[in-house]
Structure 1
Amino acid sequence: MRKLIVGCAVVVTLLPCGAHAQNSVTLYGVVDVFMGYFRNSQGQSVVSMNSGGMGGSRWGLRVKEDLGGGLDAIAVLESGFNVNNGTSGQGGRLFGRQAYIGIQSNQYGSVIAGRLQTIGYYWAAPFDPLLMASGSVLAMIGENNRPWMFNLLQDPARQDNTIQYTAPAWRGVNAAASYSWGNNQGLQNATHYELASVSYENGPIYGSYGFGHSLQPSAVIARNTYEHSFGLKYDLKWLSLTGTYQIRLNNPGRTDHAWQVGFSVPTGVRGAFHASYGGQSDENTVYGAGQTTPNGNWNTRSWAIGYTYSVSKSTTIYSFFKKLQNNGVARQSIFPPGGLPLPTANNVNVSAFGLGLATRF
């Protein structure tokens, strides 16, 4: 990460400047590429180069201005890109990862508004031992045909038209709440989101609870979804243990579950071995254009192992292997787009192997 303290003459094209204050602008980013081999039990396989195995490739600007009285104006503009072909990520958006402006205070907390990486995105990250998109077991709730609100892979992990309040930390307790008008603001059937989380950290123990509610208005019946997400992490010098349990309540009368356990073990000063296992079960899943009758229960099980080696403070070599088993009516594949298409039959196994390099600045 490179931090530049610049005067008005330099940033005149970026921000309006006043004579009474100085702006700090932090330029940061990630460049990440990996070679992946994907295969399923239907006989399909592919070798592909992909962007963002350990972290989405991006560049961004973080702006902060001292307003006096303990207040700061803050802004973040973050653009995702695919390093393997140079295209923009997030569907070609200029700042598709996040773009917001707000006010923060050490005493009162912060309020930000814009396109945000949601509370659900940040809730999931501490409990993922691998933190590799294609190699993560926790990513299966984002690879789902109905991604969960509390996931770090796919929307609704990011939301447009969102306002969020984060309370100041107090004795190891952190809390935040947000409201989103959704990506189709103004439309009668636009889905609204309400999210909140509270976490507690004390020495080696970290725990978090997240609550999510989405409402999709409809002339027939409003679709309400509620999520409860629980996570626990225990850190020792020689071992880190993580576990999550999530429940999703859908109307009319469907309940989904997801869980994961995992660990990380250092291998010397620079290396670490990671492993996780988990599953999900979605009741009465409906898929297919125009279909309303449930197909059945969507069940998956997945396990993964990975290894990371820090070449320097900013550069990491990583590898992973992941296996996904589809059960019931589940037809799920493994992220990313450079992998395989969705299975066309039930009970298909999917596997992925990757080797990559990531650097941060």
Structure 2
Amino acid sequence: MKKALQCLVLLGTATGVAHATTSVTLYGLVEAGIRYTDIKVSHGDEWSRERQVHLADFNQSSNRWGLRGSEDLSNGTSVIFSLENGFSLGTGHARQGGRLFGREAIMGLTGESWGTVTVGRQSNVADDFTGSFDPFSTGFRQAGMNTTFGDFGAYMEQSIKYQSPEMSGFKFGLSYTGSHKRSAESSENGAVTKEDRDMSRWVSTGAGYERGPVSVGASYDRFRSDARVSGVDQAGKAFDNKNSGTTVIWNLFGAYDLGVVKLYAGYGRIHGSLAHKVVSEADVGPGLNGELAHYATDPVSSRNYFQTAGFRQHAWLLGATAPVGDAGKIMFSYQGNRSRNTDDEYQGIKGRLNVFSLGYTHQLSKRTNLNAVVSYGAGKLAFADPEKRDAKLRSTQLGVGLRHRF
């Protein structure tokens, strides 16, 4: 205990020194609550059901803490950095695969006249320009739009991002990450036994406009996997393993603030597999539809309905928020999607999902609020083959939480 206190004192001293030179800020968010979930999946006479009441790691927002700072370099330019950790309140473990700063780890330069350039692990541009158009701000678990649009807000590792300054209400951004690797191994006689190549890349771009009560946001992400390992094994047998594919995700959102109520609308599309290298490493998934994935699996490739190049999905959202007194806010959204797969082995299969959500937040102080949500979702994979039964999904979520920012 004594050593722990000494470490805290040293950390505080170091932070004080940094603050004097680079304006470092310690910040974070902690939330705890109770959540009830009830998910039932049925396929003909077969069904499974999971009910759970448990401590909610987060209801409205995920837990985090971080450090951010800047230093003025004169002429309107500053050097900036941000290090942000995500963690589970229930276990104390780090999220994002156990990374120390899994939510963000960046450094860059910013200027009022030319914009901001950052490098490191950071969110894609889609998250920057479209996440705010969800009445539930992509939080509240099932109520967030990732449930139907898919997890298009993702982290880009070893990336570079540019964001423009605001120009008459208009802003845009562009980010890129890619692998440019070639390597080879040779046996003693000089024959090539293994060649490893990875030229995969991911481009994310978006734009936004806000003027008065009107705001608009759009995003476009293109994931291209191009990885290959080929050669000859120890038994003299040739092998050639490929991981390739292209997936495109785009979204368009808008909002109009009437004062007494703010209205939201959005539309988005996914073209391509959600399983090839770049997409899977970014944790871009199908959302709630994934609960039905294994009911439409090709026995030859072992890939399901969402995991081949023929996958197509379009999703939409309609929602509203309204203030309740000086401290409250009520939120509502209806979101849905329809999907299909153009590959021969999935012909005649069609997916659909509808989710209705209602939430409320109440500010107890400037930094602390109570929140509550109820959400109901119904999904289905319909098969054209009369010998196959449709797969159906019913999902209910109720949650309450207490959130504090520091």
What interval of TM-score do these two structures reach, taking the shorter chain for normalisation?
0.7 to 0.9
Counterpart CA distance in 2 for 1:79 and 1:97 is: 6
Do 1:284 and 1:298's aligned partners in 2 also have CA atoms closer than 8 Å? no
After superposition, give the CA deviation of every residue in 1:317-343 in whole Å (9 maximum; x if it has no partner): 00001111111169xxxxxxxxxxxxx
One of 242, 249, 272 as aligned partner of 2:329: 272
Scaled by the length of structure 2, the TM-score of the pair is 0.72
Distance 1:44 1:173, change over 3 A: same
Q: Percent identity?
A: 26
One of 354, 358, 376 as aligned partner of 1:305: 358
After superposition, give the CA deviation of every residue in 1:120-151 in whole Å (9 maximum; x if it has no partner): 22233211112333142402147x5xx4x3x3
The aligned counterpart of 2:174 is 177
Instruction: Report whether the alignment pairs 1:231 with 2:231.
Output: no
Q: Which runs of 4+ in 1 moved over 6 A?
A: 12-15, 184-187
**SS of match in other structure, 1:121:** helix
Letter matched to residue 33 of structure 1? A
One of 69, 89, 111 as aligned partner of 1:63: 69
The aligned counterpart of 2:9 is none
**SS of match in other structure, 1:87:** coil
Do 1:285 and 1:298's aligned partners in 2 also have CA atoms closer than 8 Å? no
- How many residues are paired up? 319
Do 1:123 and 1:197's aligned partners in 2 also have CA atoms closer than 8 Å? yes
One of 196, 202, 208 as aligned partner of 2:217: 208
Instruction: Report whether the alignment pairs 1:27 with 2:21.
Output: no
Instruction: Report whether the alignment pairs 1:346 with 2:387.
Output: no
After superposition, give the CA deviation of every residue in 1:299-352 in whole Å (9 maximum; x if it has no partner): 21111000110001110100001111111169xxxxxxxxxxxxxx82020111
Instruction: Report whether the alignment pairs 1:240 with 2:240.
Output: no
Counterpart CA distance in 2 for 1:185 and 1:58 is: 34
Counterpart CA distance in 2 for 1:192 and 1:329 is: 34
Give the C-alpha shift of residue 275 in structure 1.
0.6
Higher helix share: 2
Counterpart CA distance in 1 for 2:15 and 2:61 is: 32
Instruction: Report whether the alignment pairs 1:139 with 2:161.
Output: no
Determine which structure has more spread, i.e. the larger CA radius of gyration.
2
Distance 1:112 1:242, change over 3 A: same
Do 2:310 and 2:342's aligned partners in 1 also have CA atoms closer than 8 Å? no
Distance 1:65 1:137, change over 3 A: closer
Do 1:197 and 1:208's aligned partners in 2 also have CA atoms closer than 8 Å? yes
Distance 1:185 1:119, change over 3 A: farther
Do 1:137 and 1:260's aligned partners in 2 also have CA atoms closer than 8 Å? no
Counterpart CA distance in 2 for 1:266 and 1:71 is: 38
The 10-residue stretch of structure 1 (211-220 or 22-31) with the greater mean CA deviation from structure 2: 211-220
Counterpart CA distance in 2 for 1:181 and 1:141 is: 28
Letter matched to residue 214 of structure 1? F
Counterpart CA distance in 1 for 2:141 and 2:254 is: 23
Counterpart CA distance in 1 for 2:206 and 2:168 is: 16
Structure 1: gaps spanning 5 or more residues: 1-8, 152-156, 287-291, 331-344
CA root-mean-square deviation: 2.8
The aligned counterpart of 1:255 is 312
Give the C-alpha shift of residue 185 in structure 1.
8.0
Letter matched to residue 363 of structure 2? S
Give the C-alpha shift of residue 285 in structure 1.
8.7
Instruction: Report whether the alignment pairs 1:359 with 2:368.
Output: no
